[in-house]
Amino acid sequence: MTEQMQFQGTAVIPPGLEACGAEELSALGATDVKALHRAVGFRTDLAGFYRLQLQARLPFRLLRQLAVFPCRHREELYAGVQRSVDWSEWLPPELSFRVDASGSLPGLTHSHYSALQVKNALVDWQRERWGERSSVDLDNPDLSIHVHLGGGQARLSVDGSGESLHRRGYRPRMGLAPLKENLAAGLIRLTGWDGSVPLADPLCGSGTLLIEAACMALGRAPGLDHRFALERWPDFNGQLWTQALEQAGQSERQQLADGRPLAAVMGLELDGEVADQARANAEAAGVGDAISIQSGDFRSFQPPEGPGVLVCNPPYGERIGDRDALEPLYADLGRMVKERCSGWDFWLLSGNPELTGALKMKASRRIPVSNGGIDCRWLHYAIH
């Protein structure tokens, strides 16, 4: 493939952030961008695909379409898989692989079964061609293949990301209900915060919202430390990849894109150990100097000179804390914000409408998002 050749791609996006994800991919140069269900479709070329992998903050993963063919039943799936892609190039028997399926067709309604059908088509083709077959590796495959069925078609794609892109690498896996990094980045994008006014999270936990916000404002590319599956593809272009890496590295700045300084970015966290961890995370993400994290109770929060943007993801009793005990916390949070943050925009991630009622405030926007499978709302309050 030449670098100019365009192909169709799919970004897997957290539910609720599809429109925001589409905007992000457009801004990074993707074309024909379309928000879908839990995904964004786009077109790009190899250089553009590399740029998206390294710089997009919202996707879990980015897939590249290899083929699309008419498919009405399982025999057509089996035959179509074998003839629509040059597997001698993409999947020689020494490489391991896995197959994931989504969507459905009449007679192919179970994604596990559809994936099995694709796997069988591939290994049968390999045995025919080489007398041996690839092994299946679910954890760390050389090639990860996705098949999507729907509308009388099968779409075959390969996953260029490898490990999920939300794992930026700055945060150890910790058990305190932290937000996924790509969800946090999307939530910040939805606030419209541009780095020129203060940003504060008075219940900041491991600091994910603040870290993603600072990285975004200072142009720090999320994928610089990631190992990408596309580096093992047969048409991997080392020169284009190096250029994409250089370009991503150069986008990092000490100030905002227009030269203004980054405004205060600050967090409060009740648990001293968690606050220490948040500071370590910010350091590891390369934005330790941009963020100040104190350990303390939000009830003693003193906002910097604003107005600015207040974000938070308080406990909501689904995974940590007890719902009844949490009502007073929400009531105090509402009081604190109304008393001290006049003129600020306040955004709160709610997983429990009863608890947010205790804020005694009226949301001006309610954006549905999913946080680890929990149906949540990203609520906006304009504080008068």
Ligand X SMILES: C[S@@+](CC[C@H](N)C(=O)[O-])C[C@H]1O[C@@H](n2cnc3c(N)ncnc32)[C@H](O)[C@@H]1O
- For ligand X, the binding residue among 270, 358, 374, 383 (CB under 6 A) is 270
Q: Would you tell me how many other CB atoms lie within 10 Å of the CB of residue 88?
A: 12
Which C-beta is closer to ligand X: that of 270 or that of 284? 270
- Residue 203 engages ligand X in binding (rule: CB under 6 A): yes
* Binding test (CB under 6 A) with ligand X, winner from 99, 177, 363, 379: 177
Q: 3-state DSSP call for residue 309? A: strand
Our measurement of the distance from residue 104's CA atom to the centroid of its chain's CA atoms, rounded to an integer in Å, reads 25
The residues near 279 (Cβ < 8 Å, ≥ 6 apart) are: 207, 288, 293
Whole-number Å distance between alpha carbons of 161 and 231 = 9
Q: Say if CB 224 and CB 248 are below 8 A apart.
A: yes
Closest to ligand X by CB, 40 or 177: 177
- Using the structure block, give the residue that is written with the tokens 């504060």: 200
In the complex, the smallest distance separating the C-beta of residue 317 from ligand X, rounded to whole angstroms, is 10
Whose Cβ is closer to ligand X: residue 154's or residue 337's? 337
| Residue 274 touching ligand X (CB under 6 A) | yes
The window from 157-165, 202-210, 285-293, 358-366 that contacts ligand X (CB under 6 A) reads: 202-210
Q: Are 3 and 47 in contact (CB under 8 A)?
A: yes
Based on CB atoms, which residue is closest to ligand X, 142 or 332? 332
Q: By CB under 6 A, name the one of 117, 182, 191, 208 that touches ligand X.
A: 208
Any contact of residue 205 with ligand X (CB under 6 A)?
yes
The answer to whether 276 contacts ligand X (rule: CB under 6 A) is: no
Stretch that binds ligand X, among 8-16, 177-185, 282-290, 340-348 (CB under 6 A): 177-185
Beta carbon nearer to ligand X, 145 or 268: 268
If binding is defined by CB under 6 A, does position 176 make contact with ligand X?
yes
Count residues binding ligand X (CB under 6 A): 19
Question: Do 380 and 347 meet the contact criterion of CB atoms below 8 Å apart?
Answer: yes
- Using CB under 6 A as the binding rule, whether residue 271 contacts ligand X is answered as yes
Closest distance to ligand X from the beta carbon of 190 (Å): 15
Q: Is 185 in the site for ligand X (CB under 6 A)?
A: no
In sequence order, what are the residues at sequence separation of 6 or more whose Cβ sits closer than 8 angstroms to the Cβ of residue 13? 21, 38, 39, 40, 58, 59, 60
Q: Does 273 bind ligand X (CB under 6 A)?
A: no
Give Cβ neighbours of residue 254 (< 8 Å, ≥ 6 apart): 218
Q: How far is the CB of 167 from ligand X (least distance, A)?
A: 14
| CA atoms of 349 and 347, how far apart (whole Å) | 7
User: Contact letters (x/-) for ligand X, 313-332, by CB under 6 A?
Assistant: xxx-----------------
Q: What is the DSSP string of 201-263?
A: ETT-TT-HHHHHHHHHHTT--TTTTPPPGGGGSTT--HHHHHHHHHHHHHT--SS-TTSPPPP
Query: Residues near 192 by Cβ (< 8 Å), separated by ≥ 6?
Result: none
Adjacent-strand bridge partners of 375: 370
Binding segment toward ligand X, per CB under 6 A, in 79-87, 215-223, 269-277, 340-348: 269-277
Contacts with ligand X by CB under 6 A lie at 176-179, 203, 205-206, 208-209, 268-271, 274, 297-298, 313-315
